[in-house]
Amino acid sequence: EKGGYDHFMLKEIFEQPTSIYDCLRGRLDANAGSITLSGIEQHADKIINANRIIIIACGTSWHAGLTAEYIIEELCRINVEVEYASEFRYRNPIINEGDVILAISQSGETADTLVAIENAKSKGATILGVVNVVGSSIARASHAGVYTHAGPEIGVASTKAFTAQLTVLTMIALKLAYVKGTLSMHRYRELLKELDSVPEKVAWILNHQKSIKRIAEKYKDAHSFLYLGRGYNFPIALEGALKLKEISYIHAEGYPAAEMKHGPIALVDENLPVVFVATKDTYHEKILSNMQEIKARKGKLIAVVTEGDEVASKLCDDVLVVPEADEIIAPLLNVIPLQLLSYYIGVAKGYDVDKPRNLAKSVTVE
């Protein structure tokens, strides 16, 4: 059942080249320059003219939503807000008919997300679902949507469902940008090609992480970790921290790298591992200087870096290397080594990584 892997979580991490490919298949045609998403096409005018898109989700799916906020605002110039479903449903939010709600859920059964969209629907909002489980409650409650097609996810900690969500959300952003005309044809085509190359790049990452087990052993007894990123990689830092908490029971905090000096830097000493998501993008120089600030305080530096980036690598105690990619696509790649790092730390500590204590696969109670 586990296909030769020790755990479902590892199997599902290694399935990602295939699950992402399955998600793109029949939708993205990079050569023809087209994206086919019928659920989005039906409502395209409404979405591009929306006052705002409100993304609603919980946990890992919320992190996919936060990444999508950065991507949709950049590519489509549409106002996007991201809310925790549990906050949104109880705080009497202002919803108008021109609002579009995008609900993201692996299981399609998360109670808070379901009730949040039902409330918004009753106030006239258009509901779009990005859901993995076909025919689930959230899929049925949505006006339209896009399935993530990641296949069943058995490991309690979400891995392949997350990358499938990011894949779908990036396709939605590109589709809307195309309809709205906010991208040059050159840039649009370039991003389609980039997205098309993701399964191959994910396979490359999975084949190049031989050192992760050793890194996991080295840091497994740390009491706490900090995960830092900027821009498109800030949500990935949050997701890396959540994965570590769930699987290894080590306290971890994700933070925007620049916020560090507003408080968390007080935690840094020679016992604190700090994981940077530091691939080459618009923010690169800035994140390098954040890394130097940690190093000056003797924190242990681990970073996800772009292949061949000697400058970033030299600063670090340990590196997790990923291939070069456009910054819009990078989150999809950068999360993979962080999934593996938490997996191997959990295993090194002897925990049941497929069924972490206190967690359920779908949270159908509030």
Taking the complex as a whole, the smallest distance from the CB of residue 200 to ligand F6R amounts, in Å, to 25
User: CB nearest ligand F6R: which residue?
Assistant: 59
| Residue of 46, 295, 349, 361 marked catalytic | 361
Contact residues for ligand F6R, defined by CB under 6 A = 58-61, 105-107, 110, 113, 157-158, 242, 246, 362-363
Cα dihedral value 50, 52, 55, 56, nearest 10: -100
Q: Provide the minimum distance between the beta carbon of 86 and ligand F6R in the complex, in angstroms, as a whole number.
A: 10
Other C-beta atoms closer than 10 Å to the C-beta of 154 total: 15
Which residue, 19 or 106, is less far from ligand F6R as judged by CB?
A: 106
Active-site annotation holds for 2: no
Q: Which two tokens stand for residue 105?
A: 């859920």
**How near is the Cβ of 12 to ligand F6R at its closest, in Å?**
11
CA atoms of 165 and 138, how far apart (whole Å): 15
Beta bridge partners of 57: 84
Pick the closer one to ligand F6R by CB: 209 or 339.
339
Going edge to edge, which strands form the sheet with 318-322?
251-256, 224-229, 273-277, 300-306, 318-322
Residue 358 C-beta: closest distance to ligand F6R, Å: 12
Angle at 360 between CA 335 and CA 104, to 5 degrees: 50
Judged by beta carbon, residue 113 or residue 167, the one nearer ligand F6R is: 113
Closest C-alpha to 242, from 322, 341, 318: 341
Q: Is 62 or 178 the residue whose CB approaches ligand F6R more closely?
A: 62
Vertex 233 angle, CA 100 and 283, to 5°: 115
List, by residue number, the catalytic residues: 361
